[in-house]
Amino acid sequence: MKRTGMEGSFAIAEAIKLARVEAVAAYPITPQTHIVERLAEFVANGELDAEYIPVESEHSAMSACLGTSAVGARTFTATASQGLELMHEVLYVASGLRLPIVMTVANRALSAPLSIWTDHSDAMATRDCGWIQIFAENAQQAFDLTLCAFRIAEDPIVLLPTMFHIDGFYVSHTIESVEFLEQEVVDKFLPEYRHPYPLDPDKPVTIGAFGPPFIYTEAKKAHEAALRSSKKVILRVWQEFSKLSGRHYSPVESYKAEDADVLLLCMGSFSETAMMAIDKMQAEGQKVGLIRLRLWRPFPTEELRQAVSKAQVLIILDRALSLGGTPPVCSEIQAALYPLKTRPKIVSFVGSLGGREISAQGFEEVIRHGVDKAKQGELDEFEIIGVRE
């Protein structure tokens, strides 16, 4: 394996090339554009033998992906923010038809006001679209999880589209050291894709056209069961990837959390900044640790319960609002832990909206403030941190 300094977007494009993707349909939008620009270069100069379909919108990009995936081509696209929202209608068609498209989302805030900077509002708006959803924190994870995404999506047991999220700019535009796999290693891990039920243009049939009441509920029940069942394949693929790369991934990952009374839970690249706060506070003798959600859909209820089973306080940092309701990650975790007889006190914060920074010191303040709120029993309402009022 060779290690190279490379921008996160380009590392993802390298993974796409190594995966021998056969079709790419995309429309540019900041901050994902570098991924598909680099793929266009690969196709133009003959490094990647794929059909590159430039389209007039993200809605068209996902629609084109439906067609290429349905005829059995390994298919990729990427988008962000408003582009993901423009795809929204078609996302449900891809998952309902069980088409194993892989998509990178470079997370970015939703308008209005217009923002090109990162938060997780676009990811949370697509929470229920029926795709497998995975979060990466850095360029190495983005490279690794791209390869794993194809293997998971195309497994005959799964056959579901897979979306993996990276933080726009923090991962997409940052140059990091990335360890790449050789082509022959990737070929063994990710063999040529053969869809078990490809559409044949010479023998056209209609799929997914109409679901009257007597069959629609059964179709959605089957989709729900398939998405939940995908977790065992996800675990198996990550285990196999660990053996060939030495890098292991889990649905819920912890950092120095073994003996922690207080846990902070984050998603995405800010988890690595939070680690600095955990290091400092543990050096001061405080029993704090970090939990990161790697797998967002299917939601890893069992793994989450295990990860927080010994904690007294769980502080959750959402990077999106559910306007008029409970922040989305906190809401999910409260539901997962509610049936338990013993569970940690949950303190909910929202921060880093529209790209606002949280430093390591800022994470320390979040943890200390969360502990104070737990002691005082202030658990009913979430708090947006860093607001000027």
| pLDDT, tens digit (0-9, with 9 covering 90-100), for 207-237 | 888 899 999 999 999 999 999 999 999 999 9
Please check the confidence at residue 1 and state whether its pLDDT lies above 80.
no
Element (H, E) at 151: helix 139-153
* Residue 325 binned pLDDT confidence (cut-offs 50, 70, 90): very high
Question: Could you give the maximum distance between any two Cα atoms of the chain, in Å?
Answer: 70
Helices (H) and strands (E) in the chain, counts: 12, 15
Contacts of 335 (CB under 8 A, 6+ apart): none
Structure tokens at 235: 């675990």
Place of tokens 């506070």: 281
Provide mean pLDDT across the span 57-64: 98
Specify whether the CB–CB gap between 287 and 261 falls below 8 A.
yes
Report the pLDDT value the prediction gives residue 294, as an integer from 0 to 100. Answer: 98
Provide mean pLDDT across the span 119-143: 98
Instruction: Dump pLDDT digits (tens) for 24-40.
Output: 999 999 999 999 999 99
Provide mean pLDDT across the span 253-259: 96
Q: Distance between CA 293 and CA 252 in Å, rounded? A: 5
Specify whether the CB–CB gap between 307 and 266 falls below 8 A.
no
Backbone angles phi, psi at 226, to 5 degrees: -65, -40
Provide mean pLDDT across the span 240-245: 97
Closest CA to 29 of 91, 100, 77: 77
Backbone angles phi, psi at 250, to 5 degrees: -135, 155
* Edge-to-edge order in the sheet of strand 75-79: 51-54, 23-26, 75-79, 102-107, 162-167, 132-135, 295-297
* Residue 206 binned pLDDT confidence (cut-offs 50, 70, 90): confident
* Residue 2 binned pLDDT confidence (cut-offs 50, 70, 90): confident
Instruction: Dump pLDDT digits (tens) for 147-158.
Output: 999 999 999 999
Provide mean pLDDT across the span 128-146: 98
* Residue 49 binned pLDDT confidence (cut-offs 50, 70, 90): very high
Residue type, 105: V
Report the pLDDT value the prediction gives residue 188, as an integer from 0 to 100. Answer: 97
* Residue 292 binned pLDDT confidence (cut-offs 50, 70, 90): very high
Q: Distance between CA 103 and CA 99 in Å, rounded? A: 12
Report the pLDDT value the prediction gives residue 389, as an integer from 0 to 100. Answer: 80
Place of tokens 């640790």: 289
Provide mean pLDDT across the span 355-367: 97
* Residue 72 binned pLDDT confidence (cut-offs 50, 70, 90): very high
Report the pLDDT value the prediction gives residue 209, as an integer from 0 to 100. Answer: 81
Provide mean pLDDT across the span 163-167: 97
Provide mean pLDDT across the span 136-165: 98
The sign of the CA dihedral 305, 331, 321, 347 is: negative
Place of tokens 């010191």: 361
Report the pLDDT value the prediction gives residue 62, as an integer from 0 to 100. Answer: 98
* Residue 77 binned pLDDT confidence (cut-offs 50, 70, 90): very high
Q: What is the mean pLDDT of the chain?
A: 97
Provide mean pLDDT across the span 125-137: 98
Specify whether the CB–CB gap between 303 and 262 falls below 8 A.
no
